[in-house]
């Protein structure tokens, strides 16, 4: 029998409060053999757990007296709140009491705590958040970095390519993942200085038996067409891109509502389309794909969207279980060891 | 009686070929007192003009023997093809034979040609493409730079703020435009090094009676919510953002089609919604808002999307007329003269 995975969940983060997180963990625990630690204010969490008639035995409360708020400065919060729920959860992973950390709190804080508590994998200079995105072909595209490292050099991006392809191969089951570089044009002479230099570096790497296939530049427009399995960019651009995609999808859906709601007589006609609209929402909803792993840190750390519903929290827990199952930290460590060492790009 | 505006249109650019451009100019000319120069291969254009029964008198063909292709290297093409349609059209503006240039060809080439032929406005270091975007409140948000200057320093972005606000105020009629800085978070400590330094610079500028109101950082998600009239960013990020927005809007619309087309019995039910879907497309369609001005060059240059339909070309011609009417080059020149001179950001 396999050993039960142990998932430490920061129960105090997220825009919807601890009740939502607790419910998500409850849903995940019902269908799982993993053991879940719900880290946060014991009184608050005890009250949530009391609401359930059949409390699963694989949920345990771990007390934490402090909370890092969404408005807290990440690095300051880490120093000043050693008993914050996310810090305790990270410490459990570092000390081997848990196999993975899940948080939907302050992303900056999650990153700082993950990095400072768990440390980096040897050979990785900067971590990256690897966000799964839907593609029109029905598959998943991994975009990294989604905001962990806002100022990058070409070697950082090369490391992102190594980590992202390791994740796509081992967790998502893609053989020889295709890695693309996000740019403002497909041609290799397109891009800002960072992208042009990175393009050269990735070209050299792929001639030196890199464990991925470099397929060149990709534009934002083609990101969702499934031409690549992994798309790399600096964390600033990646974060702007993701939030723009979210904003546009929301805008289009809200314009559809406005347009279709224009005439009252139309409303009853809409009924047959509601399941289709729900499926649509599901297909573009970040919650479906759960949290994004913070790759490059020496431990498994899954970061969810601050607006996560219980459903998204449950999916983030599943992402954590998968990362543990496929031992993603070891996979990255061995990939970095074996990958061609690139000279600093010029 | 006002003097007729003279618009030189590069007829050979665009993915759909000269016929589409010619038709767009025809549509624009029908309802306008401006004089349009259609610059390109005379045989090809003559043939297009012959198709019209009532050829407007305010369209004139200007021969150009060469074409800059979409795949040409901008700077190389400019040197090697002095008789390219876009070069001749730009030269007409430079030499005072035309008041504005419109092109939907190779954007990089349009920029290079605009910059090298027309030169820069004194006090402006780098040009920017100012792209109008729809906002959910029904207004327009100007995003710049959309791809002219991919590597920026804070002073470039400050100049973009000056130019974008001049455009919003004089051409779009917004009093004291609200300028926001695109970032990965609203808080002033968010952003990459460029954005953090620019934030400081814009704060100082707004304390020194800058001709715009700096409203802080804005995220990609909120771009379409109408919280700012002008949003500034480097050309790499801006271009990635625009193409992503386009890709997501297309993806959502195509998923809707997929979902609604799932059951054949649903199709007849869809008929009443078709006008609403068309209105929706109109509201998110770039073509509605026509071309984007290349601001900072010493002459009016409107750059349209390569995929422009005749309808988009006609709108780009109207954007050119408006820019001439409001004398946008002089407006920017005088704004730059009067604006507080900022020390290089540190």
pLDDT in tens, B149-172: 999 999 999 999 999 999 999 998
> d(Cα B119, Cα B123) in Å, to the nearest integer?
12
Name the more confident of A200 and B138.
Answer: A200
> Is B343 part of any domain?
no
Percent of chain A whose predicted confidence (pLDDT) is above 90: 60
Closest approach of chain B CAs to the CA of A328, in angstroms? 27
The most confident of A280-284, A309-313, B135-139, by mean pLDDT: A309-313
Question: What is the C-alpha to C-alpha distance for residues A256 and B280, in angstroms, rounded to an integer?
Answer: 7
Q: How many CB atoms lie within 10 A of CB A83?
A: 12
For the segment B116-120, the average pLDDT, to the nearest whole number, is 95
Interface test with A, best of B240, B241, B255 (most A CBs within 10 A): B240
Let me know if residue A195 belongs to a domain: yes
User: Which residues in chain B are contacts of A71 at CB distance < 8 A?
Assistant: 187
Q: Which chain A residues contact residue B191 at CB under 8 A?
A: 150, 236
Q: Among candidates A119, A127, A115, which has minimal Cα distance to A157?
A: A127
Please report the pLDDT score of residue A37 as a whole number: 97
C-alpha span between B5 and B99 (Å, rounded): 6
Q: Do both A95 and A152 map to the same domain?
A: no
Q: Is the pLDDT of residue B23 over 90?
A: yes
Q: Give the full edge-to-edge strand order of the sheet including A213-218.
A: A131-134, A140-144, A230-232, A178-182, A213-218
Nearest Cα neighbor of B6 from B51, B37, B31, B28 is: B37
Q: Measured between alpha carbons, how far is A201 from A346 in angstroms, rounded to an integer?
A: 9
| Chain A residues in contact with B240 (beta carbon < 8 A) | 182-184, 219-220, 233, 237, 240-241
Question: What single DSSP character describes residue A4?
Answer: P
Name the helix (H) or strand (E) containing A27: helix A18-30
| Residue B78 DSSP class | H
User: Does residue B218 contact residue B204 with C-beta atoms inside 8 Å?
Assistant: no
Best mutation target, B110, B231, B243, B277, to test chain A (most A CBs within 10 A): B243
Give the ipTM of the model, two decimals please: 0.89
**Which residues does residue A10 pair with via DSSP β-bridges, in sequence order?**
A39
Domain boundary (A92, A118, A144) is at A118
Cα nearest neighbour of B271 on chain A? A269
Higher pLDDT, residue B211 or A239? A239
- Confirm or reject contact between B282 and chain A (CB < 8 A): no
Kindly state the tokens that stand for A107: 């992303």
B177: which DSSP letter?
A: -
Average the pLDDT over each of A263-272, B120-129, B148-157 and give the range with the smallest value.
A263-272
Q: How confident is the model at residue B14 (pLDDT cuts 50, 70, 90)?
A: confident
> Between chain A and chain B, how many beta carbons pairs sit less than 8 Å apart?
171
Average pLDDT for residues A297-315, to the nearest whole number?
92
Cβ of A243 within 8 Å of Cβ of B235? The answer is no
Contact B221 A234 (CB under 8 A): no
Domain ranges, residue B144: 128-287
Nearest to A185 by CA among A154, A218, A215: A218
Q: Which residues of B touch A185 (CB under 8 A)?
A: 108
Distance, in Å, from the CA atom of A129 to the CA atom of A319, rounded to the nearest integer, reads 13
* Candidate from A184, A240, A284 with C-beta closest to B255: A284
Report the C-alpha gap between A241 and A238 in whole angstroms: 5
Question: CB within 8 A of B287, min separation 6: which ones?
Answer: B305, B308, B309, B311, B312, B315
Within a domain: residue A300? no
| Element containing residue B37 per DSSP (H, E) | strand B35-40
Touching B: A residues 309-328, CB under 8 Å = none
Question: Cβ distance B78 to B59 under 8 Å?
Answer: no
What pLDDT shows up at residue A272?
A: 64
Q: A153 and A205 share a domain?
A: yes
The whole-number pLDDT of residue B283 equals 62
CB-CB under 8 Å, B277 with A189: no
Other beta carbons within 10 Å of A162? 26
Q: Which of residues A118, A138, A167 is at a domain's end?
A: A118
The average pLDDT across A169-187 equals: 92
Q: Are residues A13 and A107 in the same domain?
A: yes
Q: Which residues of A touch B182 (CB under 8 A)?
A: 240
B167 or B221, greater pLDDT: B167
- Asked whether residue A23 is assigned to any structural domain, the reply reads yes
CB-nearest to B252 from A184, A279, A284 is A284
Contacts of A177 by beta carbon, 8 Å cutoff, 6+ apart: A164, A165, A168, A169, A212, A213, A229, A230
Residue A66: per-residue pLDDT: 93
Q: Could you tell me the pLDDT band of residue B272, with boundaries at 50, 70 and 90?
A: low
Instruction: Please say whether the beta carbons of A297 and A121 come within 8 A.
Output: yes
Helix (H/G/I), strand (E/B), else coil: B170: helix
Listed residue (A96, A25, A41, A10) closest to A314, CA to CA: A25
Q: How confident is the model at residue B35 (pLDDT cuts 50, 70, 90)?
A: very high
Based on the fold, state whether residues A130 and A225 are members of the same structural domain: yes
CA of B184 vs chain A CAs: smallest distance (Å): 6
- Looking at the predicted structure, is the pLDDT value of residue A4 above 70? yes
Residues of A in contact with B70 (CB under 8 A): none
**Per-residue pLDDT band at B263 (split at 50, 70, 90):** low
Q: Is B302 exposed, middle or buried (0-12, 13-18, 19+ CB in 10 A)?
A: buried
Confidence band (pLDDT; 50, 70, 90) for B125?
Answer: very high
Q: What is the DSSP string of B243-306?
A: HHHHHHHHHHHHHHHHHHTSSGGGHHHHGGGHHHHHHHHHHH-GGGG--EEEETBSSEEEE--T
If DSSP codes are grouped into helix, strand and coil, which group holds residue B35? strand
Is A252 within 8 Å of B249 when comparing Cβ atoms? yes
Report yes or no on A322 lying in a domain.
no
pLDDT at residue A70 tops 90: no
Q: What is the mean pLDDT of residues B326-331?
A: 95
* B217 φ, ψ (degrees, to nearest 5): -80, 150
Q: Does any domain span residue B248?
A: yes
Tokens matching residue A41: 């204010």
Tokens for B66, please give them.
């060469």
Q: How many domains, in total, are found in chain B?
A: 1
Look at residues A118, A146, A173 and tell me which one is the last residue of a structural domain: A118
- The whole-number pLDDT of residue A53 equals 78
* pLDDT value for A225: 86
CB contact under 8 Å between B276 and A253, yes or no, is no
Mean pLDDT of chain B: 88
Tell me the backbone φ, ψ of residue A230, rounded to 5 degrees. -135, 130
In terms of domains, do A140 and A202 share one?
A: yes
Q: Do A247 and B262 make contact, defined as CB atoms within 8 angstroms?
A: no
User: Using CA atoms in the order B42, B48, B52, B58, what is the torsion angle rounded to 10 degrees?
Assistant: -40
Closest CA to B135 of A135, A32, A255, A96: A255
Q: Looking at the partner chain, which of A191, A237, A255 has a beta carbon nearest the beta carbon of B283? A: A255
SS3 B55: coil
Please, which residues 162-221 of chain A have a Cβ atom closer than 8 Å to chain B?
Answer: 182-185, 187, 189, 191-193, 195, 219-221
A16 and A41 co-located in one domain: yes
Q: Does B234 map to a domain?
A: yes
Q: Which residue has the higher pLDDT, B88 or A247?
A: B88
Is some CB atom of chain A closer than 8 A to the CB atom of B117? no
pLDDT at B345 over 60: no
For B236-258, the pLDDT digits (tens) are 999 999 888 888 887 777 777 77
pLDDT > 70: what percent of chain B? Answer: 89
d(CA B13, CA B97): 21
pLDDT tens digits, A220-264: 888 888 899 999 999 999 999 988 888 888 777 777 777 766 666
Please give the average per-residue pLDDT across B97-107, as a whole number. Answer: 93
Peptide bond between residue A145 and the one before it cis (omega within 30 degrees of 0): yes
A49 and A22, same structural domain?
yes
Question: Is the pLDDT confidence value at B313 over 90?
Answer: yes
Say yes or no to pLDDT of A64 above 90.
yes
Give the CATH number, domain containing residue A273: 3.40.718.10
The maximal CA–CA distance of chain B, rounded, in angstroms, is 67
| CB within 8 Å of chain B, chain A residues 56-75 | 71, 73
pLDDT of residue B281: 65
Q: How far away is chain A from the Cα of B49, in angstroms, using its nearest Cα?
A: 34
* Distance of alpha carbon B23 from alpha carbon A166, whole angstroms: 52
Give B129-154 pLDDT, tens digit per residue.
Answer: 999 888 877 788 999 999 999 999 99
What per-residue confidence (pLDDT) applies to A68? 92
B169: in domain? yes
Mean confidence (pLDDT) of chain A: 88
Please give the helix or strand (H or E) that residue A36 lies within, else none. strand A35-40
CB contact A138 to B (< 8 Å): no
Task: Decide if B273 touches A, using CB distance below 8 A.
Answer: yes
pLDDT confidence band for A279 (50 / 70 / 90):
low
A337 touches chain B (CB under 8 A): no
* Neighbouring residues of B44: CB distance < 8 A, sequence distance ≥ 6: B12, B18
Q: Which of A129-133, A276-280, B209-213 is least confident?
A: A276-280
């Amino acid at each position: 029998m396999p050993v039960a995975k142990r998932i430490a969940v920061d129960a105090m983060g997220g825009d919807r409060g601890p009740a939502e997180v607790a419910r998500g963990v409850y849903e995940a625990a019902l269908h799982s053999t993993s053991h879940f630690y719900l880290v946060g204010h014991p009184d608050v969490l005890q009250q949530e757990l009391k609401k359930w008639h059949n409390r699963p035995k694989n949920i345990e409360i771990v007390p934490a007296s402090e909370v890092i708020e969404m408005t807290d400065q990440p690095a300051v919060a880490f120093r000043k709140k050693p008993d914050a729920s996310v810090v305790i959860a990270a410490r459990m992973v570092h000390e081997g009491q848990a196999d993975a950390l899940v948080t939907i709190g302050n992303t900056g804080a999650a990153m700082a705590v993950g990095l400072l508590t768990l440390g980096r994998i040897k050979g990785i200079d900067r971590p990256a958040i690897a966000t799964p995105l839907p593609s029109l072909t029905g598959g998943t595209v991994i975009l990294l970095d989604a905001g962990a490292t806002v100022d990058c050099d070409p070697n950082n991006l090369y490391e992102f390519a190594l980590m992202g392809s390791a994740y796509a191969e081992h967790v998502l089951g893609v053989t020889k993942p295709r890695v693309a570089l996000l740019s403002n044009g497909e041609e290799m002479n397109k891009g800002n200085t960072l992208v042009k230099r990175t393009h050269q570096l990735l070209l050299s790497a792929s001639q030196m038996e890199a464990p991925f296939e470099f397929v060149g530049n990709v534009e934002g427009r083609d990101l969702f067409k499934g031409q690549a399995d992994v798309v790399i960019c600096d964390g600033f651009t990646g974060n702007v891109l993701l939030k723009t995609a979210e904003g546009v999808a929301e805008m289009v859906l809200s314009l559809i509502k406005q347009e279709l709601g224009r005439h009252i007589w139309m409303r009853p006609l809409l009924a047959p389309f509601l399941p289709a609209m729900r499926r649509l929402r599901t297909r573009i909803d970040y919650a479906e794909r759960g949290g994004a792993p913070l790759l490059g840190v020496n431990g498994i750390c899954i970061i969810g969207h601050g607006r996560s519903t219980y459903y998204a929290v449950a999916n983030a827990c599943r992402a954590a279980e998968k990362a543990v199952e496929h031992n993603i930290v070891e996979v990255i460590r061995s990939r970095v060891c074996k990958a061609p060492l690139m000279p600093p790009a010029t």
